[in-house]
Amino acid sequence: MDSSKPLAGQAALVTGGTRGIGLAIARRLAEMGAAAALCGRDLAGAQKAAAELRQRGAEAHGFAADVSDSRQVEALVRDANQALGDLNILVNNAGIGLFAPAHQIREADWDRVMDTNLKGVWLCSKAVAGQMIRRGRGHIINISSLAGKNANAGGGVYYASKWGLQGLTYCMAEDLRAHGIRVSVICPGSVHTEFSPHAGKDPGRMLQPEDVAHAVAALVTQAPQSFISEVLLRPTRKP
């Protein structure tokens, strides 16, 4: 195996993979030799992101799906399998943020955040678990947040979704570890992206999307007899 391409011959699906953290993760996995399926809500955006990876010499395909819709998730995984074969890596990165006191959140907004940030992870993981069990190996990596470890006024539904994602991840890890499937969660602090500028913080001190991608790379190259169940990712200096 080419040591510079440790993921050669493997296929990865990255949800929320068309920009920011997700695109940085897809780039890193592609650099390591994986063929990549990038999913976003907008097909044109997904295809544009995939074209960028192909320009870098990677095999990449863009797909549109709402991860909170089981039929769309099933179609996404089916299309990714047709394009790339069985999936070795799933990165559940798709998510949305909404911040308000819990008693002021509308029911529709509560459902939208929970359906994307928590139900979506469950649906995507469920859709790929069978093929990973059949092969006896695989990685499922959930991108959470330090919000899943803390509490804040105005956190409401977003923090609840991330606390729930922690619990789902740990239970899935126990369900699947006997099948050779490693389920991990990455909890970054504030990450500087063009879509999440975090007003008032110094961008130069914030985490960058590539920092999260580096953590993903570490997880998927872990020695086979062990797995890292959780990564807490913070900037060296507080922004």
Confirm whether pTM is higher than 0.75.
yes
Q: How confident is the model at residue 50 (pLDDT cuts 50, 70, 90)?
A: very high
Distance between CA atoms of 192 and 200, rounded to whole angstroms?
12
**What does the buried/exposed string (b/e) look like for 74-113 if buried means 16 or more CB atoms within 10 Å of the residue's CB?**
eebbebbbeebeebbbbbbbbbbebeeeeeebeeeebeeb
Give the residue numbers spanning the domain of 228.
Answer: 11-233
pLDDT over 90 for what percent of the chain?
Answer: 85
Would you say residue 92 lies in a domain?
A: yes
What pLDDT is stored for residue 200 in this prediction?
Answer: 73
CATH number at residue 62: 3.40.50.720
Q: Please indicate, yes or no, if residue 5 is contained in any of the structural domains.
A: no
Determine what percent of the chain is predicted with pLDDT higher than 70. Answer: 97
What's the confidence (pLDDT) of residue 163? 96
Tell whether 2 is covered by a domain. no
Mean pLDDT throughout 172-197?
A: 90
Model confidence at 195: pLDDT above 60:
no
Query: Is 170 one of the annotated active-site residues of the chain?
Result: no
Strand partners, 170: none
- Contacts of residue 97, Cβ cutoff 8 Å, sequence gap at least 6: 113, 158, 196
Residue 4 is assigned to a structural domain of this protein: no
Mean pLDDT throughout 162-179?
97
- Band the pLDDT of 155: cuts 50, 70, 90: confident
Mean pLDDT of 130-142: 98
- Whose CA is closest to 39, among 73, 7, 70? 73
- The answer to whether position 169 is within a domain reads yes
Q: Is 124 inside a domain boundary?
A: yes
Does residue 115 carry a pLDDT above 80? yes
Average confidence score pLDDT of the chain? 94
Structural contact between residues 30 and 10, judged by C-beta atoms closer than 8 angstroms: no
Average pLDDT in the 113-125 region? 98
Place 150 in a pLDDT band, splitting at 50, 70 and 90.
Answer: confident
> Is position 71 within any domain?
yes
pLDDT of the residue at 197:
57
In the chain, how many domains are there?
1
Q: Determine which one of 63, 122, 158, 159 is catalytic.
A: 158
